[in-house]
Amino acid sequence: MQSKQATFTPDEIHAIFQLQVDHQWQVKSSDAAQRIATLKRLKAAIEAHEKEVKDALYSDLRKAGDNGMLEILMCYTDIEDAVENLADWMAPVDIETSAQFPDARGSLHYEARGVVLLFGPWNFPFCLVFQPLVAIIAAGNCALVKPNEMAPNVSRVTAKIIRETFEPRQIAVLEGGVELANNLLELPVNHIFFTGSPAVGKIVMGAAAKHLASVTLELGGKNPVIIDRSADIADAAAKIAAARNMNSGQVCLCPENIWVAEEQAQEFISAAAQTFETLFYEQGELNKDACGKIIDQRNLERVQGYLDDARARGATVVCGGEIDPQGRSVQPTVLANVPKDAAILSEEVFGPVLCVFVYEELDEAIAAIQSQPKPLALYLFTGKEDVVDHVLQRTSSGGVTVNNCILHCLEYHLPFGGINNSGMGRYHGVHGFRELSHERAVLHT
């Protein structure tokens, strides 16, 4: 439905934006049946291009087999959930009025925010465009969508699906780089949905402030793991090691800094190294399809720099640590004895590197976590419910998975999002519908 266009001038961008400004009221007034039909049409378009999506994910990030299909399935899950429940989500909610208005009727109405600007990331370049887009559509908004240029093959197929499915007055896709992003941020949109780094998130929030647009910022952080003495160390190590190497470590939810009791550290490290060997090596050679690849040369050099700096400052490379520039591969790595001034401790690694720290008392680990910006996720391995309560009371994070990693994000009945440095706003399921809606108070007297 939309013609392909490689570049957009500021005037062309404004023209598309104005189309949506004019059309937003018609989209806002659509009923559940109309929005459901749109979502079904989107799912059919994704299904029609499924092989192209998988091929693109392999080309950009070497996501093979189930790793590529996961992104597609996550989109299907969100669409199916919205289709099943949207009528209930859209229904006004009756509110009991107070004594000062005994004869009045109060209600909450979920209405569209208007025109939404959606920026996709490069690490999950397909599902982290279409999952937010499902919420945008379900809530009755228009959207300007910018896929990430660092995953160019996925960007192209994403744009193809959107152009074939939507009129630009409802959902428009614009491909380009930083210049395009900056031009889009000048638009007085109603809401911005951004997934990426905290540094760029601050730029997005600053741009939104110029127009008092609301924002959803899905950022990241250095997700800590606490392993309590009561935990099954081998089980914890296997789950952490597998999660750390997901998408070659390029996941905002990956576990990163591990806190384990001093006397159990060697057992943990040995079990993690064995998991790496089992999952990601064949006959002693790294299985590149199992690992994926770093998105580009600049990010590969960034991870290399962290490892070189940590070694130079006295950190111990327990396993891994080797880099293949041609394949853009980083061997799954465990670092121990990492000094506090190492660069790897101040930035999100976005590579398959675990840093292991030891404690004598659990509160030492908690104090270390308290001293850092609030992460997107915290992972706790324990066999004691009182330890869960203690850690939850004394830490803060976007979400928590107990005795595993990342899974709280996959339970779409739970809200997903960060806090402070790791972001703001929530989505998935009904939480995404509400995030992309304005909760309007109505009183009948």
DSSP track, 284-337: TEE-HHHH---SSHHHHHHHHHHHHHHHHTT-EEEE---EETTTTEE--EEEES
Contact 110, 139 (CB under 8 A): yes
Taking the alpha carbons of 298, 122, 72, 240 in that order, is the dihedral positive or negative? positive
**Could you tell me how far CA 364 lies from the centroid of its own chain?**
29
Phi then psi dihedrals of residue 115, to 5 deg? -105, 125
Give the neighbor-by-neighbor strand order of the sheet with 93-95: 93-95, 105-112, 437-444
The set of residues, in sequence order, having a beta carbon less than 8 Å from that of 341 and lying 6+ positions away, is 313
Tokens of 139: 């809530």
Do the Cβ atoms of 412 and 399 come closer than 8 Å?
no
**Residue 364 exposed, middle or buried by CB count within 10 Å (0-12, 13-18, 19+):** middle
Residue identified by tokens 């994926």 is: 292
C-alpha distances in Å from residue 359, one per residue of 139, 238, 418: 47, 20, 27
Using only the alpha carbons of the chain, give its radius of gyration: 23
Q: How far is CA 420 from the centre of its chain?
A: 15
Q: Is 218 a catalytic residue?
A: yes
Sheet holding 423-424, edge to edge: 171-173, 142-146, 115-119, 191-195, 214-218, 423-424
Dihedral angle, C-alpha 74, 59, 330, 338, nearest 10 °: -50
Token pair listed for 36: 């459901």
The catalytic residue among 175, 218, 348, 435 is: 218
Catalytic residue among 252, 254, 291, 409: 252
Biggest distance spanned by C-alpha atoms of the chain: 77
Determine the Cα–Cα distance for residues 409 and 309; give it in Å rounded to an integer.
32
Nearest Cα to Cα of residue 291 among 318, 327, 239, 326: 327
Sign (positive/negative) of CA torsion 182, 184, 189, 190? Answer: negative
Known catalytic residue: 409? Answer: no
3-state secondary structure of 422: helix
Give the catalytic positions in this structure. Answer: 218, 252
